[in-house]
Structure 1
């Protein structure tokens, strides 16, 4: 990589720190050539501290280090994206990120959908929803619904109507997320199993 450390008068470039697994942004620091070299040599993310005017390896006092996974450079060669595996909280305040957010994996809209399902289960008396009514019938009914939707997906897969196939697939996925919660699990638990098999 040809990093342009000379674009700024202090020889520093921004280093955006991102969790390699969750893809969440954890913090922003600055690196000069020496910090960049040390990061690559040790495998521990090292910055140039502007307040202390010296190299600073994240976690050198707290033990909450950032283990290097990969470094990418932007199109202008003056900003780094540093992917890491964090050990412990990243922020000096003790939070997961410097934006006071939890560093948890998100599956985009599926995570939103999981939260909606959870909310409707927990507020069943206040909300008259399909989710709440199905859950009230017990886990056997939820499991039965997943089976029915799975059969419908198989049937539609053998036909030529892609729209119906996708509609039934969405129904299956939705009810499967409900079944997971009926069993006390979330999508993350299934992902953990898949990741374990992938190793």
Structure 2
């Protein structure tokens, strides 16, 4: 199974849990708790990717990135955003060349 097929299949399961809740499902639990819980998990998992990367632990990085991807897909499903919307935007961005933004100015006084 290709990477795209795996991601599409997972997203289909997530959307199905939203439409057809299943008792005992973690995904269903997230949808029941709502957007605040989903966003909290996205933040937590993103922080764990940072820590795993700082620790330079490849297995941990892979595991935490998978958690982030899953929770982002739950967020997308909650907001009724299709993966195709993301793919289209990424395709637009991939065509941009030489659009590096300038570095932010250093804060001198707080």
> Same fold per TM (> 0.5)?
yes
TM-score, scaled to structure 1: 0.44
Q: Which runs of 4+ in 1 moved over 6 A?
A: none
Of 82, 85, 89 in structure 2, the residue corresponding to residue 186 of structure 1 is 82
Q: Which residue of 1 aligns with 2:28?
A: 132
Offset of residue 196 of structure 1: 1.4
Offset of residue 142 of structure 1: 0.5
Of 122, 128, 137 in structure 1, the residue corresponding to residue 19 of structure 2 is 122
Structure 1, unpaired ranges of 5+ = 1-105
C-alpha distance in structure 2 between counterparts of 1:166 and 1:115, whole Å? 22
- Relative to total residues, which structure has the larger helix share, 1 or 2? 2
Query: Does residue 1:158 correspond to 2:45, yes or no?
Result: no
Q: Which residue of 1 aligns with 2:8?
A: 111
8 Å Cα contact 1:146/1:175 also seen in 2: yes
Q: Which residue of 2 aligns with 1:59?
A: none
Structure 2, unpaired ranges of 5+ = 96-110
Aligned residues: 93
- Relative to total residues, which structure has the larger strand share, 1 or 2? 1
Higher relative contact order (CA 8 A, sep 6+): 2
C-alpha distance in structure 2 between counterparts of 1:128 and 1:185, whole Å? 25
Larger Cα Rg: Structure 1 or Structure 2? 1
TM-score, scaled to structure 2: 0.78
